[in-house]
């Protein structure tokens, strides 16, 4: 029996496929698997982790180059966000939720998502004060998480 989350994913995937075909691009089953892994993940995943999870969860092998190409495609379509926590490894998350920023623990690599309306408002004010049109931003705060402080 399908869960509410499965139905939500199926609707998301259907919309994605419709949008891709409207702009004359092709979709593939590999992209479907990648999107499914990202959709149900609570983590920020590397391309290698995505490939491994597809193999583990669905017994389907997708080459790492295919994952990287798909991630570039999704990023160009603004469907995924890229996150580099300072270790040179890009992690990915679907761009489905409200805008958020990240706290990164420099000891263990833990990633904490946060949203702050005051920070967002101040960024807009700073842009306006400098006659700058703000299109997007990335805020990453580096420090030490509570667990690593002890």
Any binding-site annotation on 108?
Answer: yes
99 annotated as ligand-binding:
yes
148 annotated as ligand-binding: yes
Is 145 marked within a binding site?
Answer: yes
Is 101 annotated as a binding-site member? yes
Q: Which string of DSSP letters, residue by residue, matches 48-92? A: HHHHHHHHHHH-----HHHHHHHHHHHHHTTSEEEEE-SSS-EEE
How far CA 30 is from CA of 22, 34, 69, 73, 131, in Å, comes to 19, 6, 11, 12, 43
Question: Binding site annotation covers 120?
Answer: yes
Residues 92, 84 contacting (CB under 8 angstroms): no
Which parts are annotated binding residues?
99, 101, 105, 108, 120, 137, 145, 148
Which parts are annotated binding residues for Fe cation?
99, 101, 120, 137
Which parts are annotated binding residues for Zn(2+)?
105, 108, 145, 148
């Amino acid at each position: 029996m399908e869960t509410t989350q499965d139905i939500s994913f199926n609707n998301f995937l259907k919309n994605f496929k419709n949008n891709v075909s409207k702009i004359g691009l092709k979709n593939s089953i590999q992209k479907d698997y990648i999107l499914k892994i990202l959709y149900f993940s609570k983590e920020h995943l590397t391309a290698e982790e995505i490939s491994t999870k597809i193999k583990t969860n669905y017994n389907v092998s997708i080459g790492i180059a295919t994952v990287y190409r798909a991630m570039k495609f999704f990023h160009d379509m603004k469907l995924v966000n890229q996150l580099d926590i300072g270790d040179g490894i890009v992690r990915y998350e679907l761009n489905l939720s409200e805008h958020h920023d990240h706290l990164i623990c420099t000891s263990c690599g833990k990633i904490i998502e946060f949203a702050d309306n005051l920070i967002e408002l101040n960024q807009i004010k700073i842009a306006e004060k400098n006659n700058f049109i703000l299109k997007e931003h990335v805020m990453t705060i580096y420090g030490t998480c509570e667990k690593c402080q002890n």
